[in-house]
Chains A and B, each alone.
Chain A
Amino acid sequence: MVKKLDKKERMKIERQKMPQQEPQVRVKNFNEVPFGLSEEQALIEAARCLECKNQPCVAGCPVEVDIPAFIDLILQKDYAAAARKIKETNSLPAVCGRVCPQEDQCELKCIVAKGKTKKPVAIGFLERFVADYERYHNLVTLPDIAPPTGRKVAIVGSGPAGLTVAGDLIKLGHAVTVFEALHKPGGVLVYGIPEFRLPKAIVKAECDFMAQMGVKFENSTVIGKTDTIDELFEMGYDAVFIGTGAGLPNFMKIPGENLIGIYSSNEYLTRSNLMRAFDFPTYDTPIIHGKNVAVLGGGNTAMDSVRTALRLGAENAYIVYRRSEKEMPARIEEIHHAREEGVQFHLLTTPIKYYGDENGKVKQMECLKMDLGEPDASGRRRPVPIEGSNFIMDVDLVVVAIGNSSNPLVQKTTPGLEVNKWGNIIVDEATMRTSRKGVYAGGDIVTGGATVILAAGGGKVAAKAMHKYLMEEVKK
């Protein structure tokens, strides 16, 4: 048990720096960039927490993790208990500790940032620390599972939304089966986020934990093709959760976009992450290694793509984004990592056309410079092309990371499932219930492309409503 300092002393402690690989070393490997806090660092960081009575950090968390409580358990050196405390509300702490934009959520609300150090408690680093400690030291224990309720739940999609619903409902005694279209569970955690930001061994460990609790996984099963949602009900499932994600790539629809060497970020990252093409020829799936790579977009997916390209040997890796850095939706930490690694930022720039060689491979991209005008519907200033500012960039690989729309497969094969004009499933926000009885939805398929933790948040709301529905409206 660490002796607790008084508040004034706590607010003088500087925020711990996350040890990480040096930029020039890490661009040559796919290993995780941050190493994680040491135990000593974790204890120092945990001591910075002021244990505020009104818990602003908890209100900032989309799933309301009891942050002060888990930090207190760290100070008691009971790291496994701290991990269990987090898991009462968040089933994926090892993932969230790594990928959550804490700077916009819990850490944004932390009062310590108002003090001398100007930096909030590193809640994300601490979450990661305890989750990793629990796993590394084989201290993971199964929670208590309620007696079987006799109700069966089908979850479509094994991404963060689906996994969260699975974790919550299995504990309440329901029989849970997760249907995943790809051959490995995890959704965007396994195909979208690279190894250097989220090791796949961690995603596997989280899914194995679910399986140990009793969740059944049926991979390589495409709901909408192998079975429809109506068929799931015919098979005896009492409720269905749809967490199929924003799996329809957006292209710019400009001339030359079908040239070889122009990928959607989904394809580029799926090849590299899920199919481990970064490890070709040990793994059979190929991927183009570009020397001059342009990644279009300003979000986390764009950062993941451009940093992957560097690791695959790019001499020049560019981010091409039509607005300025201020408008980029990517985590500041990821933009910073990208800059350190040598990514070159071409801001206020947009491509208008591609040119290819005689073999149909992309060789150049014609761009226009932009200016920022009035804000658009997203609240960000609208980019306006500057006429005559055309210029050519030599590229041999382009990754289009401008966002995803909803994959229409489930909607097309589920009569009565209402969607909005963008194809997102319409739900009652308080319960995540869709227009079909017994069918709930959450994650990117509802919100459009967002974050892991927001998907988890939607999953929590759905799980609670589904449990109520199963117990009150499904007779057994």
Chain B
Amino acid sequence: MPKVLDNIQIGPANWKMTVETPKLVRKARAGQFVIIRVNEQGERVPMSIGGLNKEKGQLTIIYQVVGKTSALMTTVPAGGEILDCVGPLGVPSHVEKWGTACLVGGGIGIAPIYPIAQAYKEAGNKVITILGARSKDILFYEAEHRAIADELHVCTDDGSYGHHGFVSDVLKKILDDGVKIGMIMAIGPVPMMKVVSELTRSYNVPTWVSLNPLMIDGTGMCGGCRVSLKGETKFACVDGPDFDGHQVDFDLLTKRLRAYGDQERQAMHRFLADPGCKLAESVKNFSYPN
């Protein structure tokens, strides 16, 4: 069973878990993901890889507490274990020397773009990175990204840090300034990936996104993660998770992500009401989306 080396809170709803799984890590590349299970009754959940330490055989997962399983993840102590961690899954991010490449990370997306930025840099690209979060206390990995990016832009929706505005505002300005970008990789909440893709369409810049549909097996056997690209159905777990943002049906993805809203709420209420619930107070009191 994979060992959890540490599991710390890095924001009001964001946590960072380091998992020791040498064979998987040696194989893994930027853009891939893993599927984990915390306990026997638990769901199989996909988690983007937010960092890879090949020498130590460790990977980093940055996760947001949005429901029962992510809340349950916070209760795994440093030195503890999770039941399974399978991977590396998905097709690794395509990396090429384009000249200048741009990473756009929104919210929790700031984590998976980190190993991708490293890969773009290692391929000889000039790297422009734009990080965005709702407010300063949700921001993370700024120092890590600053160490790689040739140009780093940070923005918050509420103006509490950096540029006051959205990542798409910053990107639009860069594009309007005439900067020649060979590839844009945008990862974040679905509305953000949709807005960025819409923006870059008229500028004709290739834009790839990493999709996050619900998943079960992760190996292409069930079709639960199916997404639509200009009417063609693909499985995010084996054809993705990266896809051409200009072809993705984001509205379909948004709807499909809401398939189990009722059961998710039920599971969360039950978990919070359980007297044996070992959640930290900071997690219990956080207000969950919907």
Contacts and interface: CB of A to CB of B under 8 A. Distances in A.
Interface in B261-289: 263-264, 266-267, 270
Contacts of A220: 84-86
A257 interface: yes
A249 B223 contact: yes
Interface string B237-276: 0100000000000001001101110011011001000000
A219 B233 CA distance: 29
A285 interface: yes
A32 B36 CA distance: 30
A156 interface: no
Contacts, number: 111
Contact of A183 (B44, B260, B267): B44
Contacts of A247: 219-221
B43 interface: yes
B222 A226 contact: no
Contact of B222 (A249, A408, A409): A249
B220 A225 contact: no
Contacts of A221: 86
A336 to B, nearest CB: 29
Contacts of B258: 260, 359-360
B44 A266 contact: no
B89 interface: yes
Nearest to B90: A225
Contacts of B86: 181, 183, 220-222, 226
A181 B217 contact: yes
A219 B2 CA distance: 12
Interface in A238-270: 247-249, 251, 253, 257-258, 260-261, 263-264, 266-267, 270
B258 to A, nearest CB: 7
A286 B68 CA distance: 12
Nearest to A261: B259
Interface in B194-234: 216-217, 219-224, 226, 228, 233
B264 A359 contact: no
Contact of B89 (A183, A222, A408): A222
B87 A258 contact: no
A225 B87 contact: yes
- Report, nearest first, the 10 A-B pairs whose CB atoms are least far apart: A360-B255, A286-B263, A267-B222, A247-B221, A220-B86, A220-B84, A286-B260, A264-B223, A266-B222, A260-B259
B37 A183 contact: yes
A24 B44 CA distance: 33
A288 B219 CA distance: 22
Contacts of B256: 258, 260, 360
A407 B221 contact: yes
Interface in B40-96: 41-44, 68-69, 83-89
13 contacts: A220-B85, A222-B86, A225-B27, A225-B89, A226-B87, A258-B252, A258-B256, A282-B41, A284-B42, A284-B68, A286-B264, A360-B256, A407-B219
A247 B218 CA distance: 12
A275 B44 contact: yes
Contacts of B260: 286, 288
Interface of A: 181-183, 219-222, 225-227, 247-249, 251, 253, 257-258, 260-261, 263-264, 266-267, 270-271, 275-276, 280-286, 288, 359-361, 407-409
Contacts of A359: 255, 258
A227 B256 CA distance: 32
A285 B41 CA distance: 8
Contacts of A264: 222-224
B24 interface: yes
Contact of B216 (A267, A282, A407): A267
A249 B221 contact: yes
A260 B84 CA distance: 28
A408 B238 CA distance: 10
Contacts of A248: 220-221
B172 interface: no
Contacts of B267: 280-281, 284, 286
A409 B83 CA distance: 24
B43 A285 contact: yes
Nearest to B40: A283
B146 interface: no
Contacts of B270: 281
A294 B226 CA distance: 20
Q: Which of A220, A227, A258, A283 is the most central at the interface, judged by chain B CB atoms within 10 Å of its CB?
A: A220
Contact of B219 (A222, A260, A267): A222
Given A182-B217, A183-B44, A360-B256, A251 B223 contact: yes
A308 to B, nearest CB: 15
A275 B85 contact: no
Contacts of B89: 222, 225
Contact of A219 (B69, B84, B87, B216): B84
A310 B216 CA distance: 23
B152 to A, nearest CB: 33
B23 interface: yes
A377 to B, nearest CB: 25
A249 B252 CA distance: 20
A417 B27 CA distance: 22
Nearest to A269: B222
B55 to A, nearest CB: 19
A266 B220 CA distance: 10
A407 B84 CA distance: 22
Given A264-B222, A407-B221, A226 B24 contact: yes
B20 to A, nearest CB: 15
Contacts of B84: 183, 219-220
Contacts of B42: 284
B87 A284 contact: no
B226 A258 contact: yes
